[in-house]
Homo-oligomer: A and B are copies of this chain.
Amino acid sequence: MKQETAEQWQLFTELLSKINSYNEAVSLMAWDLRTGAPKKGVQTRSETIGLLSTEAFKLQTSSEMGAYLSYLNHATVINELSETQRRIVLETQEEYDRSVKIPAQKYREYTELTAHAETLWEDFKENGDFAGFEPYLTQIVAKTQEFIDYWGPKDTRYDTLLHMYEPDLTVEKVDQVFGQLRDRLVPLVDKIKATNKKPDTAFLKQLYDKEQQEKFGIFLLEQIGYDFEAGRVDESVHPFEITLNQGDVRITTHYLQDDVTSAVFSSLHEGGHALYEQNISPELARTPIGQGASMGIHESQSRLWENFIGRSRQFWERFYGDLQQHFPEQLKDITVDQFYPAINAVENSLIRIEADELTYNLHIIIRYEIEKKIFNEGLPVSELPKVWNEKYSSYLGLTPPNDSLGVLQDVHWSGGLFGYFPSYALGNMYAAQIVNTLRKELPQFEGFIAEGNFTPIKEWLTNKIYKYGKSLRPSEIILKVTGEELNPDYLAEYLEEKYKAIYGI
């Protein structure tokens, strides 16, 4: 590397570290707002988050950054860089090009608004108060629409949002894979219904002591290899994973007193996200590629640990005894043969995060269709409860009795995360495709799970996916790991095989 390039590289990475420091502070403030910050401090806190996010934003779009990029991202210079360095430059360039179009003041208003709305959402959800939430959501949508104008709409306006979370994805492609998946899952759901079999799930809904749930959740996280010296577990209304820095990857869980499975599976879900983040190569730390490749790939890892491993027969052959020990009263008469179908019972339900693996995808399709309507057809926010309820009634045969169990259930929109939901279903598809390869390359996969030996699985995933962080694009990862492009048939096959066995069809 030439002397001048080395100097520019040094200054460039110092600026990246600085931006990263702002992001760490903002993430901690966001974590804190969701895990117990007092109400009366929220207004000032939101302003503080807005201000510091804006400072980071200004650095990201500064003329200094522009100058480093135009020097480093130049044909004659970029070849002096290592592959990792090149990827850092290209990713930074992409973020720069996107951010530089948004005026800093607009960005600040947006972050203050969403930080505030996210906190208020808890109460609105609690009270089913959509009318209270509506003015906030209306503003968030309006500001997001403005951002789309700044960025310039892609094929459709909603494509611009999708692209933020899954860079290689289009509405056209999502319509196609969601359609393909639906065509195989709907007949499966119908067949299951036709059996009239309903696994007994009543025992899952007894009173389960919260502290015991917490202990068991932590036990499972230890088993799968979550590093407690590089993270911590807290409680929040909506479970989430958040990375403050590479040595501080936090997760939260929400405990339901009358449902033992909710916290178990959300711990495994967020634990999956955290395993990804904790195992990104340290050399990528404090750069824009020191994070997951995309929301879809991230969700593939949470889904993989939650569902493909956590809801498997082998997993509970190993851990059901431990669960019984935590709840001897509640589970004394229940065998693993009753427990396994119960946690995999297919039933149309109102709440996305408690849905089974099969119908879950319908919850996503509903949100995807509504988001498309908002941004591509101008659906007003005031009509969301009506449209939401109609779609639940038509796709799942259920009408939410109130907005707490309906349109207010998810935190995402209050945080401005439009275009994010499809990642969940995409994550399921990626996960199925990855597990298909994993099984071939690690033939003892099921055996390892049955032994509770997750080290080989975690290592395989680290070597194939985790360590790369965002230095590969999602389409590159899926091709490199599985040898083919995203293919929804793997998910369909996995679900067909699994549910045929459970329901004997």
Contact = CB atoms under 8 A, between A and B. Distances in A.
Interface of A: 17-18, 20-22, 24-26, 28-29, 32, 36-45, 47-48, 51-52, 55, 227-232, 244-248, 285-286
Given A29-B28, A45-B244, A52-B21, A38 B231 contact: yes
B247 A39 contact: yes
A247 B42 contact: yes
Given A18-B51, A48-B21, A36 B232 contact: yes
A44 B232 contact: no
Nearest to A39: B229
A222 B193 CA distance: 55
A29 to B, nearest CB: 6
A371 B230 CA distance: 37
A239 to B, nearest CB: 18
B39 A24 contact: no
A42 B21 CA distance: 13
A361 B85 CA distance: 59
A286 to B, nearest CB: 7
A100 to B, nearest CB: 22
6 contacts: A18-B51, A38-B231, A39-B230, A40-B248, A41-B244, A48-B245
Interface of A is mostly: helix
A17 B40 CA distance: 18
A390 B334 CA distance: 66
Contacts of A41: 230, 244-248
Nearest to A285: B44
A119 to B, nearest CB: 12
A248 B25 contact: no
Among A36, A44, A230, A232, max chain B CB count under 10 A is at A44
A232 B48 contact: no
Nearest to A37: B248
B38 A24 contact: no
A17 B17 CA distance: 25
A271 to B, nearest CB: 15
List 8 tightest A-B contacts by C-beta distance, closest first. Answer: A41-B248, A40-B247, A41-B247, A44-B245, A40-B230, A21-B48, A25-B25, A21-B51
B229 A44 contact: no
Given A41-B245, A248-B41, A32 B28 contact: yes
Contacts of A39: 229-230, 247
Contacts of A55: 55
A20 B41 CA distance: 14
B22 A52 contact: yes
A229 B38 CA distance: 5
A40 B286 contact: no
Nearest to A40: B247
A40 B32 CA distance: 19
A29 B228 CA distance: 19
Contact of A52 (B25, B37, B43): B25
A25 B48 contact: yes
Contacts of A28: 25, 28-29, 32
Given A37-B232, A40-B229, 4 more contacts: A21-B52, A32-B32, A38-B228, A41-B230
A247 B21 contact: no
B36 A25 contact: no
Among A24, A55, A228, A286, max chain B CB count under 10 A is at A24
A227 B20 CA distance: 35
Contacts of A286: 44
Contacts of A45: 24, 244-245, 248
A227 B40 contact: yes
A229 B45 CA distance: 14
Given A245-B44, A285-B44, A232 B38 contact: yes
A120 to B, nearest CB: 15
Contact of A38 (B40, B42, B44, B248): B248
B48 A24 contact: yes
A228 to B, nearest CB: 7
